[in-house]
Amino acid sequence: MAEDIIKIKGTREEQYQNLLPQIKALTAGEANHIANMANICAALKETFGFLWIGFYLVENEELVLGPFQGPVACTRISFGKGVCGTSWKEERIIVVDDVEQFPGHIACSSLSQSEIVVPVYYMNKIVGVLDVDSANLAEFNETDALYLKQICECVF
């Protein structure tokens, strides 16, 4: 069965408000979290056109690349390293306006200028992170954090 994401013009918040119920509907009947992650990445890419959108999944003491949309990416990230590893370690959303200013940033793509990383929880435990990169500086803000957190809740 094919699914289409209906996009609207408007503010970033209006676009998220339009997208969130579509993602909920898309993932509601699917128990496979990998399939849900893949569709979430595609829906975000289609709606916003960000440079890179993807999930990293916890495996032992590393984050391992999961479903994504965009250029090839780093395959493994250590606990506490880079923005993704730091988000996992500190159990919080991290918004980076300029990745060059983030201590220990891991440059998977030289095109990435700003980034947001959102922890993904299952049964009150972090099982991965959603990483979104932009080719623009200061692309992300509290609106993105609010809605991407809700979108991550649709994975499981």
* pLDDT, tens digit (0-9, with 9 covering 90-100), for 66-77: 999 999 999 999
Domain span including residue 28? 12-152
Residues 6+ apart with CB under 8 A from 91: 119, 126
Kindly tell me if the per-residue pLDDT of 116 is higher than 90: yes
Sheet order of strands, 125-134 included: 76-78, 62-69, 52-59, 125-134, 114-122, 94-96
Give a yes or no: residue 6 inside a domain.
Answer: no
Average pLDDT rounded to a whole number, residues 39-55: 98
For 64, counting Cβ atoms within 10 Å of its Cβ (0-12 exposed, 13-18 middle, 19+ buried), the class is middle
**pLDDT of the residue at 109:** 80
Instruction: Look at the chain and report how many structural domains it folds into.
Output: 1
User: pTM for the whole thing?
Assistant: 0.95
CATH number of the domain residue 16 falls in: 3.30.450.40
Q: Is 4 within a domain?
A: no
Residue 89 lies in a domain: yes
